[in-house]
A and B are shown apart, each in its own frame.
Chain A
Amino acid sequence: MKNPVMTASGTFGYGVEFADFVNLEEIGGIIVKGTTLHPREGNDYPRMVETASGMLNCVGLQNKGVDYFCKHIYPELKNIKTNFLVNVSGSSPEDYAECAARVNELDGIPAIELNISCPNVKQGGMAFGVTTEGAAAVVKAVREACHKTLIVKLSPNVTSISDIALAVQDAGADAVSLINTLMGMVIDIEKRKPVLSIATGGMSGPAVKPVAVRCVWQVAKAVQIPVVGLGGIMNAEDAIEFLLAGASAVEIGTANFIDPAVTLKVVKGIDEWLDRHGCKSVSEIIGQLDA
């Protein structure tokens, strides 16, 4: 990786949507929209509501399916010289494995991020990510089907995120990324109805950052594999918190909606911070927390 800054799945499209604002080749990694074996229409509108310092979404993994990605999107992406990672989701271990197997055939994709933590789909998604057995089963199935670097994205909506992280490590994950969104709800008091079409949604943005930093800190202490930190990062200072908490890299998500050029500002800001503190590389500060 050129730098430790990636874009979070579902917040940066396929990267090309942001090409007018940032040089995509300068971003450490671009994790594309969640991809499933079959096309998905996603949930009904409304899918989004603003909250204090954040937002809820219930998009529901709308995507055109892995075959469409391989045939129509990948050929465009493979000429862009950066790391494109595919976020893979599914509704059964077999589904996940089949989808990952298709991505495995794409030479230009170095890694898969396995989404076992989407709170917005009825079947699968987060259901696998909230038990150690479920998480391990999906990771095991995908591990057999896919030989690329396997990052598993974890849900914060659990009793012990460290236990889930250990389970996916034991099942063969190469890294974990966390946190996916926190499940939330907003009510329209005049209509006495939930604002979102499926009542609940995943909360993101700066409001969730302290929860995410805590999760990264706990997981980084528990596992031996690298941790990728995300959740509410708006600037370089936020990213450095995650690195100090034990993350080896970070993902920028919701901030892309506020400033489409934020990713490279974070890259630059991290470099400047490292310079100011006499550090030669990011590796010198990963997990270097006095706690």
Chain B
Amino acid sequence: MKKYVKDLTVKAVEFPHELYVLLKLTDKETLPETVPGQFVEVKVEGSPRTFLRRPISINFVDREKNELWLLIKKVGEGTHKLAELKVGDTLNLVFPLGNGFSPVQKEDEKVLLVGGGVGVAPLLDYGQYLKAHGANPVFLLGARSKSDLLEQELFKAIAPVYVTTEDGSEGERGFVTQHTLLNKEHFDRISVCGPKPMMVSVARYAKATNTPCEVSLENMMACGLGACLCCVEKTVKGNVCVCKEGPVFDINDLTWNI
């Protein structure tokens, strides 16, 4: 898939939560082809201490409106600067990068999409893709509390959504792996994106129930192109770049203790 370095225009800036910003980007030309689960590397302007680009997963691609959405958690100086962007500003992207989630495997397959925190971002695009291609996605989303749940209405418009919160303010209380859904239903496969402890525990559930499972990693990155070899993950094939060979990996290819 051809990669581009492009200036996109900020079409909308939304704040779904005080810690997050949603940037809707567009371009005069039709946006390049992307696959759910891929990411972009954005250049942060006006932040002298932010030297490297920031890898951000693609939240959603609206082909009709020619929009690419980035849901960003404000963590450090760079992401805070991104939250200051205004409609009409430009943002320089290198994209699309990495390999996305697996394509649809068979008609009517039931795919559980598990997300935690800002890790829910790529699952919106993936869920939409799965539904459009004849699969049956189901979302299981975890957060600290109700106010941390992001894009709930958008997820619900695609497929059933199950929720856990650590304080019980929405859905079931606890972690995603404690949700009663997992004892009741069988899934053909699972895709996960979120904090590593969450992904490890979902991977354990998948292994124990013999369910194929893929996870999306977010190791610290520099180039995003497989050139600098900084973002490596230990796999059964040795150290590989998360940016190029991932960010999505089959749990059987990783060396996690599951």
Taking Cβ atoms with an 8 Å cutoff, the residues of A that contact B are 10-13, 17-18, 20-21, 33, 41-42, 44-55, 57, 59, 62, 205-206, 256-261
Contact = CB atoms under 8 A, between A and B. Distances in A.
B225, B228, B233, B239 pick with most chain A CB within 10 angstroms? B228
A257 B49 contact: no
Interface string B29-52: 000000000000001000011111
Interface stretch (B1-9, B82-90, B129-137, B201-209): B1-9
Contacts of A55: 51-52, 222
Contact of A45 (B4, B94, B219, B226): B219
Most chain B CB inside 10 Å of its own CB: which residue of A48, A59, A256? A48
B251 interface: no
Contacts of A57: 222, 228, 230
B181 interface: no
A10 B228 contact: yes
Given A46-B219, A53-B48, A259-B43, 4 more contacts: A11-B227, A45-B239, A47-B229, A260-B94
Contacts of A52: 48-49, 51
Given A21-B5, A257-B52, A42 B232 contact: yes
Nearest to A15: B227
Main SS class of interface, B: loop
Contacts of A47: 229-232
B227 A48 contact: no
Nearest to A61: B229
Interface string B84-111: 0000000000100000000000000000
Interface in B183-221: 219-221
A33 B43 CA distance: 25
Contacts of B233: 45
B84 to A, nearest CB: 20
A186 to B, nearest CB: 12
Contact of A258 (B51, B219, B220, B238): B51
Contacts of A62: 229, 232, 239
A57 B227 CA distance: 13
